[in-house]
Structure 1
Amino acid sequence: MPLATPPVPNPSPQPGLPGGPETTGRFLVLLEPDKLTAGAAALTKGVGLQLAYAGDFLKDPEGLLTVKESEGIVFEDLGVAVVNAPPDQAAAMSSIVSKESSLRTVEPERIVYALGGAPMDLSYLRGYRDAVNHLVDGLLKGDSAEGGSAALSFEEAAFTWGLQAVGASRSRFTGRGIRIAVLDTGLDFNHPDFIGRSIQSRSFVDGVPTAQDGHGTHCVGIAAGPARPAQPPRFGVAPEAEIFVGKVLNDAGRGTDGCILAGLQWAIANGCHVISMSLGARVLRGQGYSAIFEQAAQRALARGSLILAAAGNDSRRPQTVAPVSHPANCPSIFAVGAIDRALSVAWFSNGSINAEGGSVDIVGPGVDCRSSWPIPTQYKDESGTSMATPHVAGVAALIAEANPEARGPRLHFHLVQTARRLSGSAADVGAGLAQAPV
C-alpha cells in the first residue's frame, strides 16, 4: 500500500544548519493497544474519517490503496493511525483525542530523509583546522584497542575496513536463517551481487513500484551483501541473511512518517528479526521523542524485531554536536552513531544531547565505506550514519544466528554486552563498536 508523499515546500534542510523538522499536513494518532477498534470508530464517528486497515493492503500485491484515497489507515500491529485531516477536522481530532480513552495522543507527520553521503559543507570547511586537530588527537591517544594510530592499518584486499572493524571478517556466522529488513530507497535488483538472491520487496511510496536508487542499494549491500562479490573486497556483513527491501523513501531520498510506519508493519508481519533504517528527521535541542514511534518500537520488540536507526549527520565536530535524529531518538529504537578508521567518532555523527531520549546506543563504521551501487557505477565509497547502521544491523543478524534465543530485547542486550569499548565519550559512542560473534 503506497503512501502518497506530499510535495515539500522547502528544500531538504542542510546538515549543520538550524531548523526543525518539516511536516506533511497529515497526522499520526496513537491508539490504546487493546482498544484499536474503539479508537478507529472514534475517529470515524467524531471526525468523519473513512479509515482502511493495513492488514488489508498487506494482502494486496499491487498496493492500490492510498491514504489519500481512504483518508487514513490503521496499522494494527503498531497501534497507530495515519490520517489526512484538513484544519477543521484536525481541531476536532485533537478534541476527541483528549476525551476518548481509546486514543492517546496526536502528532504531526514528519518528512524524513536518507542519512547518507555526509556532505562537506562550507560551515565545516571554515573549521577545517580544528577538525584536523581533532583527528590527530584521536590518532595519538591510546593503543589500537582503544582507538589509536594502529587502527589505520586495515588491508582491504579481501574485506573492507568496516567488516574488519566489526569482526565480520573473522566470524564463522553468515546470518543464515535470519531476516533483515532494510527500509530505505530500494535496491538495484539488476546489480550482479543480488541477481539470484531470494529477496522480498515492497514499495510504500505512492507511484513508485520499484527503485534502483543508490542509497538503499549501498545500505542493503553493507548489511547483507554476498560473501563473494563480483569485485572484491567483500563488504556485506551477513551474506546469507534473508533480505527484505522496503521502499519508504522516494528516489530523491525523501519520505514520510507514514511510509516508515507502513514499512515497519510489513517487516514485523514478515517476521524480520532485524530492521535497519538509515533515515531520519532533524531534532532540536530540548525536543522530545515521538510517543507514536516509541510504541511502534516497543511492539516490534515484543514481536521479536529489533529496530536500528541512524543517529544522524547534523554535527560539525569539534565545533558543534547535534542531537540524535527522529526516529532514532526513541528509547526503544537502537540509535547508531558512526566512527572513522581511527575508531574515533565521525565528525558528522550526532550525539546524546537531549535528556529525554536521544541517546547513541552503539556505533559502526561510517566513513569511506565501500558497498554496492546501482549499475553502471556498481561500487562506491560513502560516508554517514546511514553506512554505520547497516554494519550494526548485519552484526545483529550474526548474533541472532549464533544465539537463537536472542530476539527483540535479548538481541539488544547481546549487542550492547559484546560491543568493543572505545575511548570516546559514551555520549558519542554509546556502548562502543558493534562486534560480530566468532
Structure 2
Amino acid sequence: MKRTVIASFAAVVIGCGTITLAAPVNAVASGSAATQSSPVAGAIMVKFRDNGSAAGVLRQQGLTEGPGIGSTGAQLVKVPAGREAQVLEGLSRNPAVEYAEPDEAVTAASSDEYFPRQYALQNIGQQFTNTAGTLAVAGGTADADVDAVEAWNVTTGSGIKVAVLDSGVASDNADITPKVVARANFTNGKNGEDNYGHGTHVAGIVAATANNSVGVSGVCPGCTILDGKVLNDSGVGSSSSLANGINWAVNNGAKVINMSLGVRASRTLETAVNNAWSKGVVLVAAAGNGNNQAKIYPGAYPNVIAVAATDNTDAKAAFSTYGASWVDVAAPGVNIYSTFPNHTFVLGTQNNRSFGYDVGNGTSMSSPIVAATAALAWSSHAGATNTSVRANIETTADKISGTGTNWAHGRVNANNAVR
C-alpha cells in the first residue's frame, strides 16, 4: 500500500496511513540584530594599574578575579547578567582601574544581508523581524546556537554532496540555485520546480552561498545539493517516491541525505534507508511537530538521526515531537531564516511568507541544520565513515536542558563536531 508523505512544517496528525503537518503560528518582535553595540551578557573586561589591587577592588563590587585575556594584561570578569553597566561605571571611577569595558560580541563571519537574523548559526541574543516586518523575534540566549561560524574556521564543507529529498529547490533563487548539482523528480508534478516552497527553504539552511552580500548563509556553505523532488506541489508524496529518492541520492554520490518529512512505517522505506546506510551514507530526518512522543518515519528508524527542534533560548520548541528513546539530537527550528522561491509558492500564499527569504518553523528546519553539520564533519575528518560522522554529531552535542528526556544526546554543535 502506498503511504502518503507530507513535509513537516508543524503539528503531526497520524491516521489511515497518512501524516499531515500544519504550520505553527509564527512568533516574532521588532528590533534589529545589527545594533552598534552587542555586549556579551555576564562578562566584562578589566585592566588594573596594579594587579595586586585587583582582588580587593573586585571584592568591593561582589566580584572575583577572572582569567587573563591573552597578553593584554586585562581580565575577563564574570558579573551578574543585567548588572554589567552598573559594575562598569563603578570600576571606571576607581583610580586602581586602568580601564573597564564590555566584552563585545564579535558578529558576522558572513557579509550576507540577513545573516544577523540567523541566530541558529550565531546567537548573540539578537532581536529581528521577518522580511516583511510583520513578525518580530524577541532576543534569545547568547550562544544558544550550533557554533557554525566557529566551525567555518576548520571547514566549510567543500566537495560534500547533501541530498535534499523534499518538494524541490527553486530555480530562481540565486543564493541556492547554483549549489544544485543534480535534480530528479519522483512526483506527479509537471516539472521539478519547487512550487510548494518547503524544499527551497530546507536547501538554503544546508548550503546557501555565504559572503555574497545577499540573503543568508547555509550551515555548510561549501556543500552542494542533490535536489530529489519527492513531494509534489501540494507538499505530498509517497513512501515509494521517498524510497526512490533515497536510492537516487546514493547513486549520485550523496554523503548525507536530509528528509524533512514524515510517514508511517514501511518495510520498503526501511529497506531503502538500510541500503543507504550500508553504502556509507548519513541519513537525517525531522522528528515531527506533534508535541508528543509518537514516532514518525523515517526519523524513527535506527539508521536515521532523528532531530527535534529548539528555539533561540535552547528550550524545546512548543510544537516539537520529543522522546529520548528515539529522538537523537536537537537543533534550532523556530523562526529559522532561509531561502524561498522568487515565484508564487503554496507556503507563501498560505502563510504570507515573502518571496526570496523569510522565516520557517518546524523540525523540518532543524533536520537540515544537523544534515549540514554532518557534511561539515565529513569534510573535516580524514577517513570519516557514516558511523564516525554520526558519532561526531551525537557525542559532541551540547547537553542542554531536555537532554536525556526530550532527546538522547543534546543540541548539535558544529564546531565541536568538526574538531
What band does the TM-score fall into relative to the shorter chain? 0.5 to 0.7
Matched, 1:168 2:148: yes
Matched, 1:373 2:278: no
Could you tell me how far 1:426 is from its partner in structure 2? Answer: 2.1
User: Could you give the per-residue CA deviations for residues 356-408 of structure 1, whole angstroms, max 9, x where no partner exists?
Assistant: xx611111110000000111510010110000000111111000000132222
Partner Cα distance (1:202, 1:193) in 2: 20
How many residues of Structure 1 are paired with residues of Structure 2 in the alignment? 301
- Could you say which residue in structure 2 is the equivalent of 1:383? 361
The amino acid across from 1:388 in the alignment is: S
- Could you say which residue in structure 1 is the equivalent of 2:211? 228
**Aligned-residue identity in percent:** 32
| Kept after mapping to 1: 8 A contact 2:326/2:407 | no
Matched, 1:190 2:168: no
User: Could you give the per-residue CA deviations for residues 60-111 of structure 1, whole angstroms, max 9, x where no partner exists?
Assistant: xxxxxxxxxxxxxxxxxxxxxxxxxxxxxxxxxxxxxxxxxxxxxxxxxxx4
Q: Rate the CA distance shift 1:17–1:294 in 2: closer, same or farther, 3 A.
A: closer
User: Could you give the per-residue CA deviations for residues 257-285 of structure 1, whole angstroms, max 9, x where no partner exists?
Assistant: 0000010000011121100000003x6xx
The amino acid across from 2:259 in the alignment is: M
User: Could you give the per-residue CA deviations for residues 330-375 of structure 1, whole angstroms, max 9, x where no partner exists?
Assistant: 111110110000101111111128xxxx611111110000000111
| Secondary structure, aligned partner of 2:254 | coil
| Secondary structure, aligned partner of 1:170 | helix
| Secondary structure, aligned partner of 2:405 | helix
Partner Cα distance (2:328, 2:290) in 1: 17
The amino acid across from 1:265 in the alignment is: N
The amino acid across from 2:328 in the alignment is: D
Partner Cα distance (2:9, 2:342) in 1: 28
Could you tell me how far 1:298 is from its partner in structure 2? Answer: 2.4
| Secondary structure, aligned partner of 1:180 | strand
| Kept after mapping to 1: 8 A contact 2:259/2:367 | yes
- Could you say which residue in structure 1 is the equivalent of 2:186? 204
User: Could you give the per-residue CA deviations for residues 34-69 of structure 1, whole angstroms, max 9, x where no partner exists?
Assistant: xxxxxxxxxxxxxxxxxxxxxxxxxxxxxxxxxxxx
Instruction: Answer with 415-424 or 253-262: which moved more.
Output: 415-424
The amino acid across from 1:347 in the alignment is: A
Partner Cα distance (1:6, 1:302) in 2: 24
| Kept after mapping to 2: 8 A contact 1:118/1:348 | no
The amino acid across from 1:371 in the alignment is: S
Of the candidates 308, 312, 321, which is equivalent to residue 337 of structure 1?
Answer: 308
- Could you say which residue in structure 1 is the equivalent of 2:413? 435
Matched, 1:326 2:297: yes
Partner Cα distance (2:281, 2:226) in 1: 13
| Secondary structure, aligned partner of 2:120 | helix
Q: Rate the CA distance shift 1:292–1:189 in 2: closer, same or farther, 3 A.
A: same
Paired residues for 1:101-140 under 5 Å? 111=18, 118-120=23-25
Partner Cα distance (1:183, 1:308) in 2: 11
Give the unaligned 5+ runs of structure 2. Answer: 28-41, 44-80, 83-104, 109-113, 123-144, 344-354
Matched, 1:181 2:163: yes
The structure that is helix-richer by fraction is 1
Could you tell me how far 1:184 is from its partner in structure 2? Answer: 0.2
| Secondary structure, aligned partner of 2:121 | helix
The amino acid across from 1:162 in the alignment is: A
Could you tell me how far 1:429 is from its partner in structure 2? Answer: 2.8
| Secondary structure, aligned partner of 2:148 | coil
Could you tell me how far 1:290 is from its partner in structure 2? Answer: 4.0
Of the candidates 268, 292, 314, which is equivalent to residue 290 of structure 2?
Answer: 314
Of the candidates 15, 19, 44, which is equivalent to residue 20 of structure 1?
Answer: 15
Partner Cα distance (1:361, 1:323) in 2: 14
Partner Cα distance (2:12, 2:336) in 1: 25
Partner Cα distance (1:310, 1:198) in 2: 22
- Could you say which residue in structure 2 is the equivalent of 1:293? 269
Partner Cα distance (2:180, 2:327) in 1: 33
- Could you say which residue in structure 1 is the equivalent of 2:39? none
| Secondary structure, aligned partner of 2:204 | helix
The amino acid across from 1:248 in the alignment is: V
- Could you say which residue in structure 2 is the equivalent of 1:219? 202
Q: Rate the CA distance shift 1:6–1:392 in 2: closer, same or farther, 3 A.
A: closer
Give the unaligned 5+ runs of structure 1. Answer: 23-110, 126-142, 284-288, 316-320
Partner Cα distance (2:7, 2:320) in 1: 18
Of the candidates 354, 373, 380, which is equivalent to residue 395 of structure 1?
Answer: 373
Partner Cα distance (1:174, 1:12) in 2: 27
Partner Cα distance (1:7, 1:258) in 2: 9
The amino acid across from 1:373 in the alignment is: F
Could you tell me how far 1:168 is from its partner in structure 2? Answer: 1.0
Paired residues for 1:48-127 under 5 Å? 111=18, 118-120=23-25
Could you tell me how far 1:112 is from its partner in structure 2? Answer: 5.3
Could you tell me how far 1:296 is from its partner in structure 2? Answer: 2.6
The amino acid across from 1:423 in the alignment is: S
User: Could you give the per-residue CA deviations for residues 130-178 of structure 1, whole angstroms, max 9, x where no partner exists?
Assistant: xxxxxxxxxxxxx99xxxx99xx99776451111211111122111111
Matched, 1:352 2:257: no
Q: Rate the CA distance shift 1:416–1:205 in 2: closer, same or farther, 3 A.
A: same
Could you tell me how far 1:325 is from its partner in structure 2? Answer: 1.5
| Kept after mapping to 1: 8 A contact 2:397/2:411 | yes
Partner Cα distance (1:365, 1:13) in 2: 15
Partner Cα distance (2:254, 2:15) in 1: 32
- Could you say which residue in structure 2 is the equivalent of 1:279? 261
- Could you say which residue in structure 2 is the equivalent of 1:239? 221
Paired residues for 1:141-160 under 5 Å? 158-159=115-116, 160=118
Q: TM-score, normalised by structure 2?
A: 0.65
Q: TM-score, normalised by structure 1?
A: 0.62
| Secondary structure, aligned partner of 1:427 | coil
- Could you say which residue in structure 1 is the equivalent of 2:130? none
Of the candidates 410, 417, 421, which is equivalent to residue 388 of structure 2?
Answer: 410
